Chains A and B, each alone.
Chain A
């Protein structure tokens, strides 16, 4: 029976593009016709098999190799965190003048990346953008993992980590309460609310799809086609261990618990859809509030270069920009490695996301220009110096290269997408997404370090140099992120199955449309 073997895939399409072009059939600009969201005349069963098949297949060797590398990097990062906790924040390159540097740069970088998931799930859901179904699940997963990485840095940079619970508004024996008038405490609430709501949103979206995985594993068990447990070997055949439970038995148990006994009932779907809509409605202001509040950490201080009212919208646009770049950066290679995924994530979807990159990149570029303009127009010499002397001018600013890397990556690169050929080429999109990811890290570095290293008094000016612990902690956080993402790719439904089926033409209740 088709689809009953674990990991069985429908055969990929023989001619995935229109002959003579690179168009997969979704790029035509015909206003009378909507581009299909799922290509290749796939049936519901095909879509289920594509999405579940990869989650049920044996662990592929390249995946194992990648996981080995990323988890080693993650372990290295964890080691750096332990080293920091045992020794103290002196192992970082922070000093009296630059007392926030890579730690907060990394925090803002990761929390920014974490904005694309909720934006795709919530805002595009409210705007009824059907193409979001191609990426919403992976973007939400990426959001959770990015927020986990983000949460590490403020947690460990406080120095004495064991006092981090002072941030929580709980009565303690000292009779001390946190200062609710501080943006840093708003940040604690914003980020923890965001992490909780994103996790719940992701999990709720996954309940029906995990139930599908549960049902498939159960059917294989009852039909006796389950594979025995095998230990994957880097070279040669896997070692079969019949004494252990079969993978499908473990799947039934774990997916079964995760699915909460979902029965695909229409009465349940009705409440589920209502809950999803309300969540989308409240997540939209939430996602806008989180990076606004992160920007208040800077904007409410009086440091030149931080003390600007443009920060909240500028940070939000930058977060969406960086988040979409990361989604594209992760999904384009995946789409190449797993051919059937390109039927679900079409060139049209990539083009739409490239357009969002262009829009948000231009907004960020406008904000850079406006910051500069206001620094000049406001006639505040400290603020003007923060831009002209400390960022832009190579003759005066030691960190000029960071500023110009940021401008090149964030403002110049996305302009390629004005050309249709460019935003229809996955390779170009991937290169721009990589540039944007680098550029957004530098944006936070520029804001934090170049503003701090030269404040009001020249006597306290000080450079910042990262130590090896700084560098390896950041690399380690990338390892943690990639490890979690690889585990997600292998063990959970990477596409929102039920939502994909809704946007397929067979889901319409009337034959005429």
Chain B
């Protein structure tokens, strides 16, 4: 997700609606005239990429990412990622689900359509518990998955990284660190030097062809 900076927001919207929003002028342009998306470096082993992530974090970068075939344990610390708000959102969804369950059952059974069944009271809460629970679970699950996708900015079928042929090995056994050119500290030479020092190979600039 982008920060609340208006320039970032326009850039974010332009990724999805290129016909409506135009990307702000790029900071860096490649030799072929394309906007530079960022710089990538490859790693082959988990401990190496973990330590490299710590170095990038300590160098003060903020807009960067580590692409790994599986979630590396505790990479959040190495990258300095703050804990997501997803659990809070899921909790709110659970409360909404239970509330819907209460209103739906109590409203229909006690007010809209009270029916005598075995002489039981219309407004008793006990028989409403199972459906309150189920609706709470259902909405929490929706929030978990769709909230996770929304926070991740997915689905997004086009991305500059997909133009990098070696990026496709990430889904198999490769680890790639990508530092974006939007990062205030990004500098083609200094960033390359940092990635080399961190042990990255196949360092390359990624162009955004738009």
Contact = CB atoms under 8 A, between A and B. Distances in A.
B66 A275 contact: no
A286 B47 contact: no
A179 B104 CA distance: 11
B71 A186 contact: no
Interface stretch (B18-26, B133-141, B187-195): B133-141
B172 to A, nearest CB: 5
A275 B144 CA distance: 5
A264 B68 contact: yes
Contacts of B6: none
Q: Is chain B's interface secondary structure helix, strand, loop, or mixed overall?
A: helix
Contact of B86 (A197, A218, A257, A278): A278
Contacts of B140: 278, 282
A219 B50 CA distance: 27
Contact of B117 (A181, A196, A296, A510): A181
B134 A261 contact: no
A216 B81 contact: no
A215 B171 CA distance: 7
A508 B152 contact: no
A507 B46 contact: yes
A461 B58 CA distance: 80
Contact of B65 (A48, A204, A266, A510): A266
Contacts of B69: 44, 48, 208, 212, 264, 497-498, 501
B168 A507 contact: no
A181 B134 contact: no
How many chain B residues sit at the interface, stated as a range, is 35 or more
Nearest to B157: A261
A371 to B, nearest CB: 23
A510 B72 CA distance: 11
Contacts of A182: 117
Interface residues of A, number: 73
B128 A193 contact: no
Contact of A266 (B72, B83, B133, B156): B72
Nearest to A48: B172
B125 to A, nearest CB: 11
B87 interface: yes
A431 B133 CA distance: 38
Contacts of A289: 130, 133-134, 137
Contacts of A204: 145, 148
Nearest to A198: B141
Given A44-B173, A193-B134, A215-B168, A272 B72 contact: no
A169 interface: yes
A325 interface: no
Contacts of A508: 46-47, 73
A211 B167 CA distance: 12
A456 B137 CA distance: 40
A45 to B, nearest CB: 5
B45 interface: yes
A262 interface: yes
A223 B46 CA distance: 28
Contacts of A492: none
Contact of A269 (B71, B105, B108): B71
B155 interface: yes
Interface string A241-283: 0000000000000001100111111111111111100110011
Given A216-B171, A218-B168, A501-B69, A189 B148 contact: no
A234 interface: no
Contact of A175 (B86, B113, B151): B113
Given A283-B137, A507-B73, 16 more contacts: A179-B109, A180-B128, A180-B131, A204-B145, A219-B165, A261-B156, A263-B161, A266-B53, A269-B71, A286-B134, A289-B130, A497-B70, A506-B45, A508-B47, A509-B72, A509-B75
Interface of B: 45-47, 50, 53, 65-76, 78-79, 81, 83-84, 86-87, 90, 94, 104-105, 108-109, 112-113, 115, 117, 120, 124, 127-128, 130-131, 133-135, 137-138, 140-142, 144-145, 147-149, 151-152, 154-159, 161-162, 165, 168-173
17 contacts: A44-B69, A48-B69, A177-B109, A177-B112, A180-B128, A200-B145, A204-B145, A212-B172, A260-B157, A263-B67, A265-B65, A268-B152, A269-B72, A289-B133, A289-B134, A501-B69, A507-B70
